[in-house]
Structure 1
């Protein structure tokens, strides 16, 4: 049976039918207030006894705690759980609601309103909790609430905590969201990690994401501990992407960054993303607006590329003024320098972005581009491969696969380049660069039918396309031209 615990206003427990099953005892309701705001919804029995029966003798306090827990169990049934020395609420059977509710005269009701327990320790805790909730984030902010990591040993708990903290920090920047620990209210995700066993001995880490409001489980996955320990950033990137995707499910009216639009190749989606980002403040949304203009410019999807370039460079300056060490702002500035042909400037900015945030996906994408510009193609491939597990790279697979295709082309690895371009097209069917590469490489190896298919798709999404245009020096196929792979422009296909 699914239960809902409402803690703003008078404490109230309702079942799936909406019937009130709140325990009548004040101490039982005090237990609900304590457990409902505890990390992981669980507390030590000794701590509960100290909070509610601090004036009682130990034996009497223990007996009183057992009596109140019995009353609570009658109300909650299986939703009240316990173990060796601890008591808790099962989040799979009970959801905690800390959303604000209107009180008398329209004023927001206070936490545990009307609950009076004559114990100094509880009174101090209740006062502090009410003050902390007065300073809580606005309900318009999306939250990532991290529960206390669990594990069978300190080392296992530390590993789970590292993964949670790493992933949440990376996801929060890109959603955007606030990362909090402990009691929180609003819209967002509640995230837990538990480790069973030890690395090397078949140990597993389980991660669970739940909707804060409904308690609904949105995602759960287990990972073998040994690979996690060997690749913390890769695991963190994957978990961060999952947090971003789950956040989109619960966002409702909360504004989130349109990352899928930013990394698309569709003019409509790019311009739509620009309109949404225009309403946000800060270095990241400003730098993302520069990135989508960069795409519009290189893909011939803006009627005035000179003005678009000036706008992109202006946005880069604004982003760096807002946050001089932001890796996305630095990476975008590096890409703009690459477009301008300033190889040394692009390398300097990209390297700085990588020093500020080692392994950052967009920073290494920009570094790969700058190294290609410098003729260091093997180094460009190494830099790119260091970025392909980050959340931005996972969201923008088409862009990262296209960069990989171009690096392979420069290295003369035509089969690998064709495979990477095919992967980019699978992620983004409107990816024009992928279709150009596929058309050229298929023709080069004698696959006329495959080349014709790629050209037909290109003509559908690029109305002014022609083989004559593709052969012109201003058309964006520089890497294919340098590699002598534009024979298709003379094919008549």
Structure 2
């Protein structure tokens, strides 16, 4: 299997298994950009030296070139070729990817993005190369969301339909990722059609139809009852958002151009790492923030070999995302979760509240707010915050996480039967969900269901190789809520 050299966006070299093999040195990355665009992937050594070390004395430039070649050799192995006066890439070992692409907001992604080498010869070459590539038409990462004007029998009904369509398409675009365009702007995509019929009570009946824009084939149709009430509009918008995401996945099954929704909220290390690998291929603040969230899950579930290192990576990713999009609700929500994990309750509350102000009713924002309120000891408010948005599209994609958040709040409120039900629902969505199994083991034992508790513990032993009841009783094990509520009698049961 070949190495992959991606030159649109940041220079990135990946191995056959998707592992990052990009050199750390800027000049070595510059050499990859030069060789990856050279005829036959080969260049004279003197030309490489002139492009990267034009201001250095010849002997010093030659020495620097040799050092950069050594660095490339470590990254490329046999993929780096050398001959009499030239160096190059082996096309049988290295696949160069120069496909044009768009970022999450639809902007063209730049060649060798962020590569800053202060040499006038290289700067001139890089500028010329970018100019030569910028006129190419990038292919959309996923089917475009083709928005059509709502039809209706009254302006009020059309207005309600327009509100739903605008919010749903914007949220779906952020979660796929993709762009929202008008019907006349493209030939392919996911076309959204709607018909709104006014009713005497100032409400409207909304019919939504999704079609393959290219073929006209109908993918989905549904009608909703809309009222001017904000809660009604948000609930319908959330349903339509989720449908748009599912329809895009139907058009592109297994596509790596979509975010890995099925793995983002999982609790299995292999699936979380797979999602992280896929998210690496996307540029922009949301994928960076989602990669931070994946590490957050790995840490709290004891699946990160070095929790301190993983959290450092998560903080860096979250910080980068905030710098790129300080007002994005997904970015703010995940930054709030990072603060909660560190015990910075006030900062977590501020960030989560800001996310809720930016996007009222956003499900991930309310999940982060619920966590921060739990940390602050405001258990009733924590439950209300997460229960209010359990119908949202992200909540629907990550039901185990939302149900677990509800279960924690319910335990702290003393509603143990409700908490057991929430944990059981979480487990039904994710049979390897460790937190749900811990809660079920404790709560079943508490109410005298020893057989049920034993079944949960046995499953825990299967999905968590080092699990034991003494480990569950230890202060480091992630059952803080059960511990505070005095619900760890099961650890002394001998089951």
User: What is the TM-score with the length of structure 1 in the denominator?
Assistant: 0.70
Please give the alpha-carbon distance, in whole angstroms, between the structure 2 residues aligned to 1:338 and 1:448. 34
Please give the alpha-carbon distance, in whole angstroms, between the structure 1 residues aligned to 2:471 and 2:141. 49
1:391 Cα deviation from its structure 2 partner: 1.2
1:198 aligns with 2:206: no
With 413-422 and 151-160 compared, the bigger mean Cα shift is at 151-160
Are the equivalent residues in 2 in contact too, given 1:399–1:424 (CA < 8 A)? yes
Who is 1:210 aligned against? 211
Please give the alpha-carbon distance, in whole angstroms, between the structure 2 residues aligned to 1:345 and 1:158. 38
Are the equivalent residues in 2 in contact too, given 1:142–1:254 (CA < 8 A)? no
Who is 1:481 aligned against? 483
Please give the alpha-carbon distance, in whole angstroms, between the structure 1 residues aligned to 2:277 and 2:453. 36
1:161 aligns with 2:162: yes
Are the equivalent residues in 2 in contact too, given 1:140–1:254 (CA < 8 A)? no
Please give the per-residue CA displacement for 1:321-379, whole angstroms capped at 9, x wherever unaligned. 11111111211111111111111111111112212222211111111111111101111
Equivalent position SS for 2:144:
strand
Please give the per-residue CA displacement for 1:257-284, whole angstroms capped at 9, x wherever unaligned. 1122111111111100000101101110
1:306 Cα deviation from its structure 2 partner: 1.1
Are the equivalent residues in 1 in contact too, given 2:371–2:382 (CA < 8 A)? yes
Q: What's the Cα RMSD here?
A: 1.9
- Equivalent in 451, 454, 465 of residue 452 of structure 1: 454
1:435 Cα deviation from its structure 2 partner: 0.5
Are the equivalent residues in 1 in contact too, given 2:157–2:204 (CA < 8 A)? no
Are the equivalent residues in 2 in contact too, given 1:139–1:187 (CA < 8 A)? no
1:356 aligns with 2:358: yes
Please give the alpha-carbon distance, in whole angstroms, between the structure 1 residues aligned to 2:187 and 2:453. 53
Equivalent position SS for 2:283:
coil
199 and 241 in structure 1: CA distance in 2 versus 1, 3 angstrom threshold? farther
1:369 aligns with 2:382: no
Please give the alpha-carbon distance, in whole angstroms, between the structure 1 residues aligned to 2:474 and 2:182. 57
446 and 310 in structure 1: CA distance in 2 versus 1, 3 angstrom threshold? same
Are the equivalent residues in 1 in contact too, given 2:226–2:232 (CA < 8 A)? no
1:387 Cα deviation from its structure 2 partner: 2.5
Question: Which structure is larger by alpha-carbon Rg, 1 or 2?
Answer: 1
1:20-419 to 2 correspondences below 5 Å: 138-198=139-199, 200=201, 204-226=205-227, 231-251=232-252, 255-419=257-421
243 and 316 in structure 1: CA distance in 2 versus 1, 3 angstrom threshold? same
Equivalent position SS for 1:183:
helix
With 235-244 and 351-360 compared, the bigger mean Cα shift is at 351-360
Who is 1:33 aligned against? none
Unaligned runs of 5+ in 1: 1-133
Who is 2:18 aligned against? none
1:219 Cα deviation from its structure 2 partner: 0.8
Are the equivalent residues in 2 in contact too, given 1:297–1:309 (CA < 8 A)? yes
187 and 290 in structure 1: CA distance in 2 versus 1, 3 angstrom threshold? farther
Please give the alpha-carbon distance, in whole angstroms, between the structure 2 residues aligned to 1:138 and 1:196. 37
1:229 Cα deviation from its structure 2 partner: 6.9
Who is 1:427 aligned against? 429
Please give the alpha-carbon distance, in whole angstroms, between the structure 2 residues aligned to 1:480 and 1:399. 17
140 and 177 in structure 1: CA distance in 2 versus 1, 3 angstrom threshold? closer
Please give the per-residue CA displacement for 1:128-162, whole angstroms capped at 9, x wherever unaligned. xxxxxx99863445310111211111111111111
Equivalent position SS for 2:303:
coil
Please give the alpha-carbon distance, in whole angstroms, between the structure 1 residues aligned to 2:195 and 2:185. 21
Please give the per-residue CA displacement for 1:278-318, whole angstroms capped at 9, x wherever unaligned. 11011100000000110000001111111111111111111
441 and 422 in structure 1: CA distance in 2 versus 1, 3 angstrom threshold? same
Are the equivalent residues in 2 in contact too, given 1:142–1:176 (CA < 8 A)? no
Are the equivalent residues in 1 in contact too, given 2:140–2:178 (CA < 8 A)? no
Are the equivalent residues in 1 in contact too, given 2:141–2:177 (CA < 8 A)? no
Are the equivalent residues in 1 in contact too, given 2:256–2:278 (CA < 8 A)? no
168 and 199 in structure 1: CA distance in 2 versus 1, 3 angstrom threshold? farther
Please give the alpha-carbon distance, in whole angstroms, between the structure 1 residues aligned to 2:343 and 2:278. 31
Unaligned runs of 5+ in 2: 1-134
Please give the alpha-carbon distance, in whole angstroms, between the structure 1 residues aligned to 2:347 and 2:278. 31
With 184-193 and 472-481 compared, the bigger mean Cα shift is at 184-193
Please give the alpha-carbon distance, in whole angstroms, between the structure 2 residues aligned to 1:137 and 1:217. 27
User: What is the TM-score with the length of structure 2 in the denominator?
Assistant: 0.70
1:201 Cα deviation from its structure 2 partner: 8.4
Are the equivalent residues in 1 in contact too, given 2:142–2:258 (CA < 8 A)? no
Are the equivalent residues in 1 in contact too, given 2:205–2:224 (CA < 8 A)? yes
Equivalent position SS for 1:359:
coil
Are the equivalent residues in 1 in contact too, given 2:445–2:490 (CA < 8 A)? yes
1:196 Cα deviation from its structure 2 partner: 2.8
Please give the alpha-carbon distance, in whole angstroms, between the structure 2 residues aligned to 1:372 and 1:235. 29
Equivalent position SS for 1:388:
coil
Are the equivalent residues in 2 in contact too, given 1:136–1:184 (CA < 8 A)? no
- Count residues with an aligned counterpart: 360
